[in-house]
Amino acid sequence: MSRVRAETSSETTLEREWGRLRRGQLMGLVRASSAPGHSALAVELLRAVVEAGEIRASDLASELFVTKTSISRYVGEMLKEGLLVQRRDPRDGRATLLRASASGRRELEEREAKRSALLRSLCQGWPQGDVATLTRLLQRLNDGINRYLNELQPR
């Protein structure tokens, strides 16, 4: 088999497996094991706020590659639910900074614990080296996706 054909075959397998993952096998399991109530974007938004400490909504929209309108809607709902709190940005009185409330951090911790338990269960019986390799490869893939998306964003 030629090198080109082998690469194409490998890419097709990668594409197929990516499709299986995206069609919901893993995401369906993750959603089923999670508490109801928040979309995947809302959970990612909460995670990004926790990781940032404090962040402007516009910076959050850029980081998550979503519109400011979408972020505003989610932030508004999460403020009402008490998951986020906001304060005036001391550097720019027109803007506000968001941070996770204690209940927001607790909700994220509970969701992360459930997801971690699910992933440990899915990888049960795997050699530890395989789990470490998968983790490293997923990190590389996520880094590549972020680089690609950052290149697409207008400056």
Is the distance from CB of 57 to CB of 98 less than 8 angstroms?
A: yes
pLDDT (tens, 9 = 90+) of the chain, 155 residues, equals 444 444 455 565 777 777 777 666 666 666 665 555 677 788 889 999 999 999 999 999 988 888 999 899 999 999 999 999 999 999 888 889 999 999 999 999 988 888 888 889 989 999 999 999 999 998 998 889 888 888 887 66
Q: Which helix (H) or strand (E) holds 95?
A: strand 92-100
pLDDT for 33-49, tens place per residue? 555 567 778 888 999 99
Q: What is the pLDDT, as a whole number, of residue 5?
A: 47
pTM: 0.71
Tell me which of 1.10.10.10, 2.170.270.10, 1.10.3210.10, 1.10.3720.10 is the CATH number of domain 37-122. Answer: 1.10.10.10
Residue ranges in the chain assigned as alpha helix (H): 3-22, 25-33, 40-52, 57-64, 68-80, 102-122, 128-152
Amino acid at 7: E
N-term to C-term CA, the chain: 44
Instruction: Please state the domain extents for the chain.
Output: 1-33, 37-122
Secondary structure letter of residue 66 according to DSSP: -
